[in-house]
């Protein structure tokens, strides 16, 4: 869900001045972490390369507060693992549509239960994997999963921007063929990125996660395609990584030493620092499926109001149903972990679903009083 008003135009921002010291510290830290070495082991590795004794304390200081010497950086460039040059991301796209209660009931008969409140069936694709999730109140979400191996965030941003229209067209065609209803249409795409192979560490990893959470910031509106678009995106990425990127509406739900996680209007980005203690990938997916299903249902109701019509839904899924859904989305569960609560709160807040729900509830209650 990307609104033009929420896109940050780099040309309206002050010029970023690269933080060369931070870039150098990150280079050193990334090399040591990539090799899996302690401060002492890394010091022993680069000592013969620079020709003078390097202490573990010096390595720690260069990573945190001091600027690494030039000869140390040259040595680091020769030992950095080649794999660290690639960004590994699993993209989850949630493509939502309203298909009506009757069609949802028909499709549910062909599908398997997926949780307590909906059904799902596989969708055949030449690349990636996809499942169609159907809720009894008439919402369908195509969950498209694609594994990406990229040189940088700019390539992710361009791919995302260029693939969204294709995804919407494909989803609309698929749903119309499946339902036999030519009015069925996919309304939006929301992305969740599970970052399993980052190329940064420390503070720069945190900045990178924020950019991945809202990659549209790298795209120049005046040249949204071609080589010029990618070149501009790569330049913007370098500037933001060096100078920092902060978006007021973005919310963090990561835990120090465990994970880096951000949610925004554009989507979600998450990197597990400690796989044994972080959120599971399925937890993020399930949370987004629940939130986007209700969001799409409210969009259908509020869309009728905006067109000047009284909203019509079955009594079973009227305003009382939405009131209960709002409670489930916004109130903590008794056995919910702190990390899960942080994730849910961040996703609910940045999606604007609370206001969407309130508007839909009021519209249904008003229609019922007439």
CATH 1.20.120 matches 12-83: no
List CB contacts of 178: < 8 A, sequence separation 6 or more. Answer: 107, 132
pLDDT at residue number 284 = 97
pLDDT in tens, 247-288: 889 999 999 999 999 999 999 999 999 989 999 999 999 999
Please, is 37 exposed, middle or buried when counting C-beta atoms within 10 Å of its C-beta (0-12, 13-18, 19+)? Answer: middle
pLDDT of residue 37: 87
Boundaries of every domain in the chain:
12-83, 84-281, 283-369
What average pLDDT score do residues 344-363 get? 95
Percent of the chain residues past pLDDT 70, beyond the cut = 91
CA separation for the pair 273, 209 (Å, rounded): 12
CB atoms within 10 A of CB 98: 24
Q: Which of 123, 113, 101 is nearest to 177 (CA)?
A: 123
pLDDT at 8 over 60: no
Residue 44: the pLDDT is 93
pLDDT score recorded for residue 6: 40
Supply the pLDDT for residue 256: 93
Report pLDDT digits (tens) over 202-251.
888 999 999 999 999 999 877 656 678 888 999 999 999 988 898 889 99
User: Given 3-state DSSP classes, what are the helix, strand and coil percentages for the chain, each rounded to the nearest 5?
Assistant: 55, 15, 30
What is the pTM for the complete model shown?
Answer: 0.80
Say what the pLDDT of residue 14 is. Answer: 39
Distance CA 220, CA 240 (A): 14
For the purposes of burial, counting CB atoms within 10 Å of the CB of 156, is it exposed (0-12), middle (13-18) or buried (19 or more)? Answer: buried
Nearest to 191 by CA among 220, 218, 159: 159
Q: What is the mean pLDDT of the chain?
A: 88
Structure-token pair, residue 229: 């678009």
pLDDT-based confidence at 328, cuts 50/70/90? Answer: very high
Read off the pLDDT of each residue in 61-66 and give the average, rounded to a whole number: 88
Cα distances (Å, whole numbers) of residue 160 to 17, 115, 216, 219, 308 = 27, 29, 8, 10, 34
């Amino acid at each position: 869900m990307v609104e033009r008003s929420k896109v940050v135009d780099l040309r309206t921002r002050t010029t970023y001045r690269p933080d060369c010291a931070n870039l150098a510290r990150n280079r050193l830290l990334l090399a040591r972490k990539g090799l899996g070495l302690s401060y002492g082991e890394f010091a022993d590795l680069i000592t013969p390369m620079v020709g003078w004794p390097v202490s573990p304390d010096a390595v720690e200081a260069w990573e945190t507060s001091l600027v690494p010497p030039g000869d140390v950086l040259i040595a680091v460039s020769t030992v950095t693992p080649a794999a660290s040059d690639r960004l590994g991301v699993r993209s989850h796209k949630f493509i939502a549509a309203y298909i009506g209660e009757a069609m949802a009931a028909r499709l549910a008969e062909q599908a398997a239960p997926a949780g307590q409140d909906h059904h799902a069936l596989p969708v055949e694709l030449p690349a990636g994997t996809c499942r169609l999730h159907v809720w009894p109140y008439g919402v369908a979400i195509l969950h498209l999963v694609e594994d990406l191996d990229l040189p940088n965030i700019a390539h992710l941003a361009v791919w995302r921007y260029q693939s969204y229209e294709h995804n919407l067209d494909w989803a609309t065609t698929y749903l119309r063929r499946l339902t036999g209803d030519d009015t069925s249409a996919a309304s939006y795409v929301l992305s969740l990125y599970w970052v399993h192979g980052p190329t940064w560490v420390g503070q720069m990893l945190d900045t990178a996660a924020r950019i991945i959470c809202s990659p549209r910031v790298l795209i120049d509106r005046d040249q949204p395609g071609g080589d010029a678009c990618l070149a501009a995106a790569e330049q913007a990425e370098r500037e933001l990584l060096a100078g920092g990127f902060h978006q007021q509406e973005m919310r963090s739900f990561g835990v120090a030493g465990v994970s880096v996680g951000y949610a925004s209007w554009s989507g979600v980005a998450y990197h597990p620092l400690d796989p044994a203690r972080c959120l599971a990938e399925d937890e993020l997916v399930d949370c987004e499926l629940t939130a986007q299903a209700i969001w799409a249902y409210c969009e259908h109701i509020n869309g009728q109001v905006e067109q000047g019509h009284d909203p019509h839904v079955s009594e079973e899924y009227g305003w009382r149903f939405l009131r209960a859904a709002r409670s489930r989305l916004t109130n903590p569960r008794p056995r919910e972990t702190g990390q899960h609560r942080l994730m849910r709160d961040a996703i609910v807040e940045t999606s604007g679903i609370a206001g969407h729900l309130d508007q839909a509830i009021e519209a249904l209650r008003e229609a019922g009083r007439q």
